[in-house]
Amino acid sequence: MEPLKLVIIEDDEAHFSLMKRAITKEFPNALLYHFQEATTCLEGLDGIIPTVIITDYLLPGMNGIEFLETLRQKDGDIPVIMITGQGDENIAVRAMKSGAIDYLVKSRDFFTLLPAVIEKVVRKNRLEQSLLKFEKRFQDIAENISDWVWEMDAQGSYIYSNPVVEDITGYCCDEVIGKYFYDFFSSDNKTILKERIFKLMAELKPIKSFDNILVRKDGFEVIMETSGVPCLDKNGNLICYRGVNRDISERKRAESRIRRLSQQLLKAQETERQMISCELHDRVAQDLSASKIGFDMLLKDQPALDTAVKEKMLDISNCLQRAINAIRDLSYDLQPPALAEMGLVKALEIYCEEFSTQLGIKVDFQSAGLNLFRLDSNTEIHLYRLVQEGLNNIRKHADTDRAVVRLVGVFPNIILRIEDSGKGFDIQKREHELGDEKRMGLRSMKERTGLLGGQMIVQARPMQGTRIFIKIPCQEEVRESQKAYIDY
């Protein structure tokens, strides 16, 4: 910290000496500059840049009030302490109005009080300078940032806005001040969003990444991401909210394009799987079946063959049968026929039963509420694949003999839960292993869920199993005569 630079204007040498002694006793490193009259001091200030000026009121040529007025025109940031004679309170009042930061009366304890007054003035001035720096820093950031920085009172009316608001909404700052935050909302969801924001304000909660649509002055809509924090008084009462609005219209459009392209890619993949499934089932499997039948007939028509040759031919016939079974299983896995013929629930029942039989992992599958929805084929195949991928992850990594699958329709969402009591894993550690092959299953499920506009939550702990919770919105209407309460 820089040493104190104290300028003292005092024409009485004896009084100055006593002041100097009192000051240096408390501030031994302080630099003192003495002037006997105000005019000379004003001429030499530029080379000193003092921390505080201490001036007597009665001075030759120019009194203390005149000095203050002249100093304010030249440099209004230097704090001044005015010294007045005993009983000169009126002069002290005039000095404060002229810009003095404090005053001190020449009393018996003057030299005792002087260091404390200096310390108070220095502390106050440094605090004010610090506040000015923070204010300037905030102003520089707020006026140059690309986001809309705002402040609104406890009733939701804007009391501050940075100039960027005009670029985003078309309204200048003066037009925004005094308006309520919901005045800019699109009429489609205005009431709902207004209630949600006021609920957060009533609970004194922060506003976190709140997406909303605002209508510009020219009538066009922009998608905003709003974040804000409450400011409270010392009694915990709400004073205002301060926050930022970010225009995410372009990001949302890009995400929508990516989502559509990804959906088209998945649809193309499912179409390709269907073609490969048909090719395997209708051609490759049929050709192998015909080969096996011909091979078996040849074996039957040659009873005189050597026993060793017959055993070899039987081995080949069995190998052909295994290949036929494998190809048919692969064909059904690529395009499960039960999905189109019997619907999603029945297809998943069959898959879970076959999974249990083949791998020895008992799958407890239950479904409810799906009869309330009319799902399209795209949603059905995605849900089927999510169950398929979830169970395959359990088979590969869980080291357990039991799994649970729940598929529930609770309008307007479809909820899928897949869990096991296996060895689990450390989620945070796994998040850093994005390139690990073991991570691909969960990542694929998360991407597929995202393409359906849903959310996926994974809960896991080492040796405490894994639980996957998926919620997918469905726009299909509930059939009018059916209402269901599902304890999920």
Amino acid present at 289: S
End-to-end C-alpha distance for the chain, whole angstroms = 65
Task: Count the Cβ atoms, other than its own, within 10 Å of residue 265.
Answer: 11
**Whether the bond into 412 is cis, omega within 30 of 0:** yes
Closest CA to 456 of 400, 418, 486: 418
CA distance 168 to 428: 38
**How does pLDDT run across 2-24, given as a tens digit for each residue?**
789 999 999 999 999 999 999 99
Locus of tokens 């000169």: 88
Tell me the β-bridge partners of 226: 210, 245
Closest CA to 109 of 226, 18, 239, 201: 18
Query: In this structure, are residues 58 and 85 in contact, taking their beta carbons and an 8 Å threshold?
Result: yes
Amino acid present at 317: S
Query: In this structure, are residues 181 and 198 in contact, taking their beta carbons and an 8 Å threshold?
Result: no
Closest CA to 352 of 409, 425, 422, 407: 407
Locus of tokens 């960027």: 164
**Whether the bond into 115 is cis, omega within 30 of 0:** no
Locus of tokens 């300028």: 7
Q: What is the pTM of this model?
A: 0.54
Locus of tokens 């400011």: 231
Tell whether domain 145-247 is in CATH 3.30.830.10.
Answer: no
Could you say which of 3.40.50.1220, 3.40.50.2300, 3.40.1280.10, 3.20.20.140 is the CATH number of the domain covering 5-141?
3.40.50.2300
Could you say which of 3.30.470.20, 3.30.565.10, 3.40.50.1370, 2.60.120.260 is the CATH number of the domain covering 344-488?
3.30.565.10
pLDDT by 10s per residue, the chain, length 488: 578 999 999 999 999 999 999 999 999 999 999 999 999 999 888 888 899 999 999 888 899 999 999 998 887 688 999 998 766 778 888 888 888 999 888 888 999 999 999 999 999 988 988 888 888 888 888 888 899 999 999 999 999 999 999 999 999 999 999 999 999 998 888 899 999 999 999 999 999 989 999 999 999 999 999 999 999 998 999 999 999 999 999 998 888 888 788 778 777 877 787 788 778 877 887 888 888 888 788 777 777 777 788 788 888 888 888 888 888 878 777 778 778 788 889 999 999 998 999 889 999 999 998 877 788 888 888 899 899 999 999 998 889 999 999 999 888 889 999 999 898 887 777 666 645 444 457 888 888 888 788 899 999 888 888 999 999 887 544 344 333 333 33
pLDDT of residue 477: 41
Ranges of each domain in the chain = 5-141, 145-247, 253-335, 344-488
CA distance 63 to 103: 15
Where do the DSSP E strands lie in 205-345? 207-215, 221-232, 238-247
CA distance 468 to 470: 7
